[in-house]
A and B are shown apart, each in its own frame.
Chain A
Amino acid sequence: AQSVAQPEDQVNVAEGNPLTVKCTYSVSGNPYLFWYVQYPNRGLQFLLKYITGDNLVKGSYGFEAEFNKSQTSFHLKKPSALVSDSALYFCAVRDGFSGGYNKLIFGAGTRLAVHP
C-alpha cells in the first residue's frame, strides 16, 4: 500500500539550532515527494519537491530536504531554526497510480515548535 509516515507528532528545537522533520514513504513507481507548511488557520504552502536528480533539494525560506532512496526517506532540514518557522509541516508523495492527475498522499503532519 502507498503511504507516508511522519513518525513525530511534534518536534521542539531552540532558535538558532538545526532542525530536522522526518518523513518516510512507500509508493509504487518513482517517488515524487513534497513538503508543505501550514501556519495557523491557513491553507498549505508549498516548500519544495523532489522529482529526480540531486538528492539534496533546496526550497523556500531556507529549507532543504534530503532524499534517500535506500531508506525511503525524505527528511526536511534547516541549518538554523527561527521562531517564525513554528508551524505544521506535511510530507506528501504523488500517488503512483494517479498519472497526470497529480494526486498526493499526505502524512499526518508534524508540529514544529521553535523556542526563543
Chain B
Amino acid sequence: DVKVTQSSRYLVKRTGEKVFLECVQDMDHENMFWYRQDPGLGLRLIYFSYDVKMKEKGDIPEGYSVSREKKERFSLILESASTNQTSMYLCASSPSSGRVYEQFFGPGTRLTVL
C-alpha cells in the first residue's frame, strides 16, 4: 500500500513564526502536491513538484514556499505565518506516466495560527 505521512496532525503557531510542514511518501512517486482545505472551498492547490528540486505554483501560492531535496520528501514552508493561513493542509503524491493515476493523500495537518 502507498503510504503518505505528514509530520504533525495538529500544529499551533504564532503570527510571524516560520512554519515547516513535512510530507514523506514511500512509493517512489515523481509527483507531490500540497493543498489547503477550507470549508466550502474544497481543496486548493498551493504548489506541486514533479521531480527533485522542481516545483510549480498552484492556484494559491502566495505566502508559501516549498522544498524538494529528495524524491520522497516534500516540504511546505510558511515564511511568516498569518492567521488567514489557519487551515487543514493535505499532502498527496502520484506517479508520473502516460497513464491516469489517482493521487494518494496523507492524513493532513490541522494548523492553527494565533
Contact = CB atoms under 8 A, between A and B. Distances in A.
Interface of A: 9, 32, 34, 36, 41-46, 49, 51, 90, 94, 100-104, 106-109
B103 A42 contact: no
20 contacts: A32-B100, A36-B105, A42-B107, A43-B4, A43-B107, A45-B105, A46-B104, A49-B100, A90-B43, A94-B100, A100-B97, A101-B96, A102-B96, A102-B102, A102-B103, A103-B33, A103-B48, A104-B103, A106-B43, A108-B42
Interface residues of B, number: 31
B90 A44 contact: yes
Contacts of B107: 42-43
Tell me the dominant secondary structure on chain B's binding face. Answer: strand
A112 B93 CA distance: 26
B90 A102 contact: no
A91 to B, nearest CB: 9
B105 A102 contact: no
A110 to B, nearest CB: 10
Interface of B: 4, 9, 31, 33, 35, 40-45, 48, 50, 56, 90, 92, 94-98, 100-108, 110
A41 B100 contact: no
Contacts of B101: 102
A54 B6 CA distance: 36
Contact of A100 (B4, B90, B98, B103): B98
A41 B110 contact: yes
Contacts of A36: 105
Contacts of A107: 42
